Amino acid sequence: MHNKSIKELSQALAGKEISSVELTEYFLQRAEKFNAATNSYITITRETALEQAKAADQLIADGKGGTLTGIPLAHKDIFCTKGIKTSCGSKMLDNFDAPYNATVINKFADAGAVMLGKANMDEFAMGSSNENSYYGVV
């Protein structure tokens, strides 16, 4: 599944070949399995992701799904997500719990996308090599 495009995954979801819960669980397992080696995630949001996947499955069943409905993805840790740590890859914001969602987070949520977690990144997105994160090299 990890080699498929968003279009292919969306078609599989719409065709009931796989549920969003199954797809999300697949990607959560990969994230949890490989994160120690890749350091790709600062935060994995398992419970939130599975709740969103269940809601996406219902939208799809009701014929209200769009291209991103049920598609699991990770957000860079620079985007504020209400109730979920948003550190921007910095020690200074290590315990910052955003009081609101960034517009991009709301737009993905409105589209029915599933948030797997927050991706590691250079501190405050100031770089391109992913070597300057408080949480370590990606």
SS (H, E, C) the chain: CCCCCHHHHHHHHHCCCCCHHHHHHHHHHHHHHHHHHHCCEEEECHHHHHHHHHHHHHHHHCCCCCCCCCCEEEEECCCCECCEECCCCCHHHCCCECCCCCHHHHHHHHCCCEEEEEECCCHHHCCCCCCCCCCCCC
Query: How far apart, in whole angstroms, are the C-alpha atoms of residue 38 and residue 23?
Result: 21
Q: What pLDDT is attached to residue 119?
A: 96
Per-residue pLDDT of the chain (138 residues; tens, 9 = 90+): 899 999 999 999 999 999 999 999 999 999 999 999 999 999 999 999 999 999 999 999 999 999 999 999 999 999 999 999 999 999 999 999 999 999 999 999 999 999 999 999 988 888 777 677 777 787
**Residue 40: left (phi > 0), alpha (psi -120 to 50), or beta?**
alpha
Residue 72 is encoded by which pair of tokens?
């699991």
Output the pTM of the full model.
Answer: 0.92
Per-residue model confidence (pLDDT) at position 127: 79
pLDDT of residue 135: 79
Q: What is the pLDDT of residue 30?
A: 98
CA-CA distance, 42 to 52, in Å (whole number)? 19
First to last CA, the chain: 22
